[in-house]
Structure 1
Amino acid sequence: MTATPVTATPVTAALVTPRRPVERTHHGDVVVDDYEWLRDADDPAVVAHLEAQDAWTRARLAHLEPLRERLFTEIKDRTLETDLSVPVRLGDHWYYARTVEGSQYAIHARVPAAPDAWTPPTLEPGVTPDPGSRGPGGGDEQVLLDENALAEGHEFFALGGTEVSADGRLLAYQVDVQGDERYVLRFRDLATGEDLPDVVEETSPGVALTPGPGSPGSAAGGYVFYTTVDDAWRPHRVWRHQLGTPAADDVLLLEEPDERFWVGVGLTRSRRFVQVELASKLTTEVWLVPADAPTSEPVVVWPRREGVEYSVEDAGDQLLVLHNDGAENFELVSVTVPDDLRAPGAFDAAGADVVVPHDPAVRLEGVDAFASHLVLSYRRDATPRVAVAARGPAAPRRMTGTGSRAASAGLSWREVSTGEALEGVQLDASPMVDQPVVRVVVESFVTPRTVYDVVLATGELLLRKRQPVLGGYDPAGFEQRRDWATAPDGTRVPVSLVWKRDPALPAGPARPAPVLLYGYGSYEYSLDPWFSVPRLSLLDRGVVFAVAHVRGGGELGRGWYDDGKLLAKRNTFTDFVAVAQHLVDTGWTTPQRLAAEGGSAGGLLVGAVANLAPQLFAGIHAAVPFVDPLTSILDPSLPLTVTEWEEWGNPLDDPDVYAYMKGYSPYENVPDDASAYPPILATTSLHDTRVLYVEPAKWVARLRAAGAPALLRIEMSAGHGGVSGRYSRWRQIAEENAWLLDVLGATEATRPGR
């Protein structure tokens, strides 16, 4: 097919993408796609074109090199490069990860734990302990995995799932060196530090180790459960591998034929069960395999019912089941675990007892069972929260209580909180059933990630570590608040804002200020308060960082999500525009000082917003953006397409869905003349399997052909999350932030009182 040249546009120096028209016909609608030819990543001409696009973009960004280096240095100077995580108790050891200055990746290690010790050992990063002491680099420390050694010789590296056997003698770990999220599964004998001969290729994240026959508590000679993906990158099979046998002899435990569903596998905290979850966007089914009988057939807890989602937590003689059957925001119930799991009526839902009833103001998200207490994770007022209750009777009260304590269904709940505005509280690693403390992480837009242990018996918060931020960072020098915008249909949309406090302006930042507005709005994923070291460089330059908590996310419960998906998806985009307009109308900023940013499905959001309201923004950064959704969702052979139909709709079979998606698709709706669009930076990765590189590549080609000032930055050795290695990642973030500061006109750091 002959390439048709593109007429030069006002962006004149832009690299031209040849047009090679391809027709697509669905429901009588004929679409001519000039850039679909870019999909063939095996074509050397396509790769050469992408490399040329990237080189052209790098040249266009060359003037930002000094700023990019300053931003990288600021990130580096604020980060404690030699550091370690708070050790986590598992069995007879404390496990932790540490980083070393100059190394890209983490080192995973452990030290012995004294009996009944629940105070993590004090380990000094970078200090070689005296013989006999415990700590990084010497003494009793045992290095389990050095990611730097595993990454040697590879441009990309990612560690997938890891699992330590019950006796602490074996480590299962998964490695990806392409960025395509297909992992090689290996096993390490922790007594010798050597890997076993067993190697399983092409696995997806998640493993479960169980003892072998005659070896209680040990995985030596035991079994490992893992999953593999189909051609569409959907985890669809669960396998059982016996250590010491060829992978070719592995037993297929379960296969999910319904392409809407994916599978996952893991051990319950109790280690009594291997748990297999089969889930679509709307429906769940959980199967159990007794860990002491790993070769037995799995048993279903509740057979799937269309539209019913549930999760299972082992609580000894009961299973705790969190479900949405007749409970939009979910309800927690308990069912008895029978002696015979295969007995008729086992796990009978009809006989379930309500533990926490449904509450329209509280979205229940998870429950964790420990020997003496339950820990409930939930969402209220658009923030994540955690509450603890002793496993005993109490007078019932509702979770909507405004005090620090709330209760329901016979349990007295104590909410964990430090009292900070906009704080998010989430349960962290707490792997043992009988531990007397549980770990939580508290974080806000101004407070760095802070780790506490909660004493279950008293509720006391024991500070274990606050993320160090070097250079004299003081949270009191920054301000955060919650605001509300009004959508076109009257819905109030929450907005979070954070900025650097100016002593001369106690009421807020100088106005109008440069504002970076961030959004996502899909999959019920919530943008909870989070601290960011790279963001400080933006705040230092007077930028206000704002988060639009648009519909399609989960901030305000399941209804908030439902109102931003399928045939209500446009609410996501109009909510974001409404927030942007609110920030302008209330004097926070002006269109000349407002930029938008979103990644993946958030890239779809900002791509759609570019078509809806280009006049509101000075620049738009779309990271790994899902900007050609109709083409992707029309092709069931593409990764993740069929599993996505319950999120976006099925345009193949439903003409209404087809027309609706075509009406908002960023790629489909670029106008013939986009010369008035703001500068757009699209960033992507060649090996991304979630959002294929071809979507932003096509989008940028069409934008440029229509006269829009659009750039494509593509990493040739990376995945959906971008490049690997912390220093490489910092440089990538610095490059993106330099571009954002440039379009905002905020490249210089501000001074107090200025």
Structure 2
Amino acid sequence: MYKKWNYMIIIGAMAIACSDKKIAHLASWPDASAPVAEKKNHERVIHGDTVQDDYYWMNDYFKKGPDSSKVLAYLTAENEYTATMMKDTEGLQERLFQEMKGRVKEKDESVPYLKNGYYYYTRTDEGKQYYKFCRKKGSLDGKEEVLLDIDALAEGHPYYAATGFSVSPDNKLLAFGVDTVSRREYTIYVKNLETGALLADRIDRTEGEATWANDSKTLFYTSKNAVTLLSEKIKRHLLGTSSKVDPVVYDEQDNTNYIGVEKSKNGRYIMIYSGGTLSSEVFILNADTPDAAFTSFQPRRKDVLYSVTPLADRFLVLTNDGAKNFKVVECPLDKTTKENWKDVIPHRADVLVAGLDEFKDFVVVSERKNGLTQMAVRSLKDNKQHYLDFGEAAYTVYPSINEEYDSQVLRYGYTSLVTPSSTFDYNMQTKEKTLKKQQEVLGGYHAEDYVTERLFATTAGGTKIPVSLVYKKGFEKNGKAPLLLYAYGSYGMSMDPTFSSARLSLLDRGFVYAIAHIRGGEEMGRQWYEDGKMMHKKNTFTDFVDCAQFLIQENFTSSSHLYAQGGSAGGLLMGAIINLSPSLWNGVIAQVPFVDVVNTMLDETIPLTTNEYDEWGNPNEKQAYDYMKSYSPYENIEAKEYPNLLVTTGLHDSQVQYFEPAKWVAKLRATKKGNHVILLKTDMDYGHGGASGRFDYLKDVALNYAFLFKLEGISD
């Protein structure tokens, strides 16, 4: 089902843009010269196709090549140019930062959760960027133990991320991972919770999470390749020994798979998961016998995905075996292979089964129908089930932290574009719902002051795309309002509508905020994802353009006031849509954008490349190469007028290397027509996720908003 570009979309976009005449406020920019990147000869030759890449040398900082210092100098010059061009917004950026920070409750505490006799929670203090991880024994009235003071640990580090907090079964030890570079390479440490001292054990180059065996002295963890950062091996560590001699208990041979290790909620099994986009395999081990060998639950099969949920008397298996939208089967504890699987929840063409959360007497089934998440509570005694009701047109709901297996209470999180993040406890037996905590927005917030809608845009091919919107009450649909359209559209990741207190600074200044739930996500089921990947990837881009045109046709905005934003694979989307329909947007924000698709996917030394073959294709195969090249933003830059662009990246990004956006910006500047600005901001301390502190990231948001406001002529 190869789908070509729909030229009617392009013609329609041009017609709308021409009729609109770009009557928006024209931003006043300083008379400053943008950096001009040096061009160096580099040819890529593959499949008989020769391509000149003038900016290939920008890889050198990553590759530790001879032009490393020149790369840093260029990125620094771009940062200085961006600062100059945005100089007149510095006061606005500071006001926006303080405004957004002022909505955050600085001294706060998470809802405690119970695990193995202790209540665990995090709390934040006034003026502190990070948090403290704490617990109380037996009761919330008990004495507080501060297990980790991340505020103290982060001192002196521009970036500090702690993850994978895992307490041993005897409650005496805490394993956790730390990354101080922002490349998602974690060192695992173990802390004695009785003495407060760190053990000598130190495990480098991991995914950051450790899984305890039941003996409280054996850890399993995922080890990463030093160059590609692929998760390649599962290792076993015995406390008191050197990690250099840790035995490999699982070695993944398929470099397109991701692997990980975890413990079942009932504490009986250690489970290794190996999976890609198309197939997966689970290996299990009795948690009481950590020195034994893992066994395959069901050997992997082509195009079959499955995951395993252990119960007291059987296994539940979520699988797409003969079930596009997945189904749930069960099997005995001692007979786990496919011939022993029996359907429990059959396949439904209109419902995607997205996940299971197990308890002793219940299982909670997360589903997707008509683009929205549902949660069904199913009794394990009689298989009767009921659905929770949420009462809003568009929302996000998900199981929260549910560590206790023997519990009748489901904890879940809920939010929408107008509802702050909320935590509920739901008694699955009595059906009583209790709000435990709702995000407090300081300075006053009233949900009734804002309006949210869920509409459907129709593509040129007749597909209906959900669009979620929010705006301030009193908004008039006259085509004059600024609108920011956001999307992602890859990896089957659904961009559900959530609340953001920072976004209020956008809405309160007259912006409409919209999310396009385009193909490539999984909002409308598994087929929705498959229709937006590999050889159907262009559907993602045309869907986004169609959603933009729909919003213009419905008078939410006009092309003079239309803006787009996306990050990572969503940054690829931004690069594609400005090539496809450049005059449709007044401005675009591309964050850590994956825009040099062909070159990156050809270079297996770049972190995570081979893991992505099932998403984008392998360009070593000619058909995949040709298709990728036909949409890759870097490959398709032309001499035409592009919209105003703000491009952001991080020097230490391990997901999308800094050189992709840097090369893209350099080539755009050298090729484009017109006077629209292109700004590149590289954060020299951070990586893919930006700043680690809970306030610092707001400075990036303030820059993004100031860029939009400058283009709209909004100065306060």
Q: What range is the shorter-chain TM-score in? A: over 0.9
Residue in 1 that maps onto 2:488: 520
Instruction: Tell me the CA shift for residue 451 of structure 1.
Output: 0.4
Match of 1:437 in 2: 409
1:11 Cα offset (Å): 8.7
Q: Report the equivalent of 1:385.
A: 374
> Given residue 423 of structure 2, which amino acid in structure 1 is its aligned partner?
V
Alignment-derived partner of residue 386 in structure 2: 414
How far apart are the structure 1 equivalents of 2:358 and 2:651? 42
**How big is the shift at 1:516?**
0.1
Counterpart of 2:343?
A: 354
> Are 2:360 and 1:371 aligned?
yes
* Structure 2 counterpart of 1:285: 281
* 8 Å Cα contact 1:542/1:746 also seen in 2: no
Aligned position for 1:322: 318
1:61 equivalent in alignment to 2:86: yes
Give the distance between the partners of 1:93 and 1:160, measured in 2 at CA: 19
- In 1, the alpha carbon distance for the partners of 2:713 and 2:532 equals 33
Q: CA 1:65–1:238 in 2, change beyond 3 Å: closer, same or farther?
A: same
| CA displacement, residues 476-496 of structure 1 (integer Å, 9 cap, x when unaligned) | 111101111111211111111
Percent of residue pairs bearing the same amino acid type = 41
Partner residue, 2:527? 559
Q: Which residue of 2 aligns with 1:182?
A: 185
Aligned to 1:705: 670
Q: Which residue of 2 aligns with 1:586?
A: 554
Shift of 1:510: 5.7
Q: Do the aligned partners of 2:188 and 2:208 also contact (CA within 8 Å) in 1?
A: no
In structure 1, give the amino acid aligned to 2:322.
G
Tell me the CA shift for residue 244 of structure 1: 1.1
d(CA) in 2 for partners of 1:746, 1:545: 16
Counterpart among 210, 233, 236 of residue 232 in structure 2: 236
CA distance in 2, matches of 1:417, 1:745: 43
The residue aligned with 2:5 is none
SS of the residue 2:219 aligns to? strand
Letter in 2 for 1:258: D
**Alpha-carbon separation, structure 1, partners of 2:575 and 2:204:** 37
The secondary structure found in structure 1 opposite 2:633 is coil
| 1:414 partner SS | strand
Match of 1:154 among 152, 157, 172: 157
Among 64, 74, 82, which residue is 2:107 paired with? Answer: 82
Residue 93, structure 1, aligned to residue 60, structure 2: no
Return the alpha-carbon distance in structure 2 between the equivalents of residues 514 and 709 of structure 1. 19
Native 8 Å contact 2:651 2:682 kept in 1: yes
Distance 1:426 1:510 in 2: 36
Do 1:260 and 1:643's aligned partners in 2 also have CA atoms closer than 8 Å?
Answer: yes
Contact 1:703 1:709 in 2 (8 A): no
Q: CA RMSD in A?
A: 1.4
1:266 aligns with 2:266: no
Alignment match, 1:471: 443
Supply the distance in 1 between the matched residues of 2:39 and 2:625 (Cα, whole angstroms): 25
Q: Please list the CA deviations of residues 309-354 of structure 1 after superposition, one character each: whole Å capped at 9, or x if unmatched.
A: 111111112111000011000000011002xxxxxxx313222121
- Distance in 2, Cα, partners of 1:519 & 1:262: 25
Give 1:232 deviation, angstroms: 1.1
User: Contact (CA 8 Å) 2:184, 2:654: kept in 1 or not?
Assistant: yes
1:12 deviates by 6.6
Q: Provide the secondary structure at the position in 1 that maps to 2:696.
A: helix
Contact 2:32–2:81, Cα closer than 8 Å, also in 1 = no
**1:141 is aligned to 2:106:** no
Superposed CA deviations along residues 240-298 of structure 1, whole A, max 9, x for unmatched, are 00011111221110101211112101111111111100111111100011110001000
For residues 277 and 307 of structure 2, what CA distance do their matches in structure 1 show?
13
**Counterpart residue number, 1:661:** 628
Q: Which runs of 5+ in 2 are unaligned?
A: 1-29
Which segment is superposed worse, 203-212 or 493-502? Answer: 203-212
CA contact (8 A) 2:477 2:557 kept: no
SS of alignment partner, residue 429 of structure 2 = coil
CA–CA distance in 1 between the matches of 2:431 and 2:441? 28
Instruction: Tell whether the 8 Å contact from 1:197 to 1:244 is kept in structure 2 after alignment.
Output: yes
- State whether structure 2 residue 473 is matched by structure 1 residue 501: yes
Instruction: Name the amino acid aligned to 1:534.
Output: A
Give 1:678 deviation, angstroms. Answer: 1.1
Tell me whether 1:550 sits opposite 2:546 in the alignment: no
**Residues 187, 206 of structure 2: 8 Å contact kept:** yes
CA distance in 2, matches of 1:48, 1:266: 44
Do the aligned residues in 1 keep the contact of 2:479 with 2:558 (CA within 8 Å)? no
Amino acid at match of 1:474: H
Q: Does 1:195 align with 2:205?
A: no
- Per the alignment, residue 506 of structure 2 pairs with 538
SS in 1 for 2:695: helix
Runs of 4 or more above 6 Å deviation? none
The answer for the alignment partner of 1:456 in structure 2 is 428
For residue 686 of structure 1, the aligned residue among 629, 632, 651 is 651
Maintained 8 Å contact 2:478/2:555: no
TM-score by length of 2: 0.93
SS for the counterpart of 1:700 is: helix
Describe the SS at the equivalent of 1:533.
coil
CA distance in structure 2 between the partners assigned to 1:547 and 1:423 by the alignment: 12
Instruction: Give how far 1:639 is off.
Output: 1.1
Q: Is the 8 A contact 2:187 2:208 kept in 1?
A: no
Of 211, 216, 235, which residue of structure 1 is paired with 2:214? Answer: 211
**Aligned match of 2:35 in 11, 15, 31?**
15
Q: What CA distance in whole angstroms lies between the structure 1 residues aligned with 2:338 and 2:687?
A: 42
Name the structure 1 match of 2:20. Answer: none
Does the alignment pair 1:227 with 2:205? no
SS at match of 1:630: helix
* Conserved 8 A contact 1:383-1:423: yes
Which amino acid is the alignment partner of residue 527 of structure 1? Answer: M
- Distance in 1 between residues matched to 2:90 and 2:478, nearest whole Å: 28
Measure how far apart 1:46 and its partner are.
1.2
Alignment partners' CA distance in 1, 2:374 and 2:568:
26
Secondary structure (helix, strand or coil) at the match of 1:184 reads strand
After superposition, give the CA deviation of every residue in 1:507-558 in whole Å (9 maximum; x if it has no partner).
x556431100001100000011100011110000010001111110110000
Alpha-carbon distance between aligned partners in 2 of 1:55 and 1:92, rounded to the nearest angstrom: 54
Cα shift at 1:211: 3.1
Letter in 2 for 1:195: L
| Secondary structure, aligned partner of 1:40 | helix
Give the Cα–Cα distance (whole angstroms) in 2 for the partners of residues 597 and 545 of structure 1: 10
Match of 2:19 in 1: none
- State the alpha-carbon separation in 2 of the partners of residues 15 and 685 from structure 1: 18
Is the counterpart of residue 169 in structure 1 residue 134 in structure 2?
Answer: no
Q: Is the 8 A contact 1:500 1:509 kept in 2?
A: no
1:102 is aligned with what amino acid? Answer: G
CA distance in 2, matches of 1:385, 1:11: 54
Letter in 2 for 1:376: V
1:730 is aligned, of 668, 674, 698, to 698
Residue 635 of structure 1: which of 593, 603, 612 is its match?
603
**C-alpha distance in structure 2 between counterparts of 1:83 and 1:287, whole Å:** 40
Deviating more after overlay: 530-539 vs 224-233: 224-233
Distance 1:594 1:60, change over 3 A: same
Contact preservation (8 Å) 1:161, 1:207: yes
Partner of 1:401: none
Offset of residue 386 of structure 1: 1.3
Does the 8 Å contact 1:684/1:696 carry over to 2? yes
Is 1:105–1:726's contact at 8 Å kept on the other side of the alignment? yes
CA displacement at 1:637 relative to structure 2: 2.0
Q: Which amino acid aligns with 1:360?
A: A
Measure the CA separation in 2 of the matches of 1:743 and 1:316.
60
Distance in 2 of aligned mates of 1:523 and 1:629: 15
| Counterpart Cα distance in 2 of 1:510 and 1:102 | 43
Residue 595 (structure 1) aligned with residue 563 (structure 2): yes
Q: Distance in 2 between matches of 1:50 and 1:557?
A: 41
Alignment partner, residue 130 of structure 1: none
Does the 8 A contact of 2:456 with 2:464 survive in 1? Answer: yes
